[in-house]
Amino acid sequence: MSNRIAVFNDGVIQQLAAPDTLYEAPENAFVAQFIGENNTLYGKVIGLDGDICTVEAENGDKLKALGVNIQGVGFDTMISLRPERVEVNPESGQCSSTVTGKVEELIYLGDHIRSRMNVCGQDDFIVKIPNSANHAQLSPGDTVKVGWKAEDARALDVLVS
């Protein structure tokens, strides 16, 4: 038996898919923001190589992302990235984008630690740090490296709000 969700906005179905597809592969910024929690990074597309684009964030950081719903080089985009797909202090070669993050706030939630960071000039960037053995020990004010795989960062349309 199939099980699908139609995500509505403004009288239009934005995406019709199975729950896991909606969560893993939102096709536009509305769905990315409506289904679950997502980090949003704003920038401009400055390069495109196959499916992968390079985006210059507002603070000048250069990020790799999967070009899902972009207009092309020179256009604004919104990168959508799940908090659980961000690595703290990744080993070299593990991530296609690595930038500096400043820890603003830590919330202990038992199975994971929710960390709010300043990344690419935005201070609402959430990272979920699993409470596994040898997990990163952070304190507010620390500066760390955060990284992710290009496929996990989805370059989408910019929501006009």
Residues that bind other proteins (CB under 8 A): 1-14, 16, 19, 22-23, 33-37
| Beta carbon nearer to other proteins, 6 or 46 | 6
Residue for token digits 């603003």? 104
- Minimum CB separation of residue 98 from other proteins in Å reads 28
Q: What length is written for the chain? A: 161
| Beta carbon nearer to other proteins, 11 or 60 | 11
- Minimum CB separation of residue 84 from other proteins in Å reads 12
Q: How far apart are CA 30 and CA 62, in angstroms?
A: 24
Distances (CA, A) of 137 to 114, 129, 145: 12, 9, 13
Q: How far apart are CA 57 and CA 29, in angstroms?
A: 17
| Beta carbon nearer to other proteins, 33 or 96 | 33
- Minimum CB separation of residue 58 from other proteins in Å reads 21
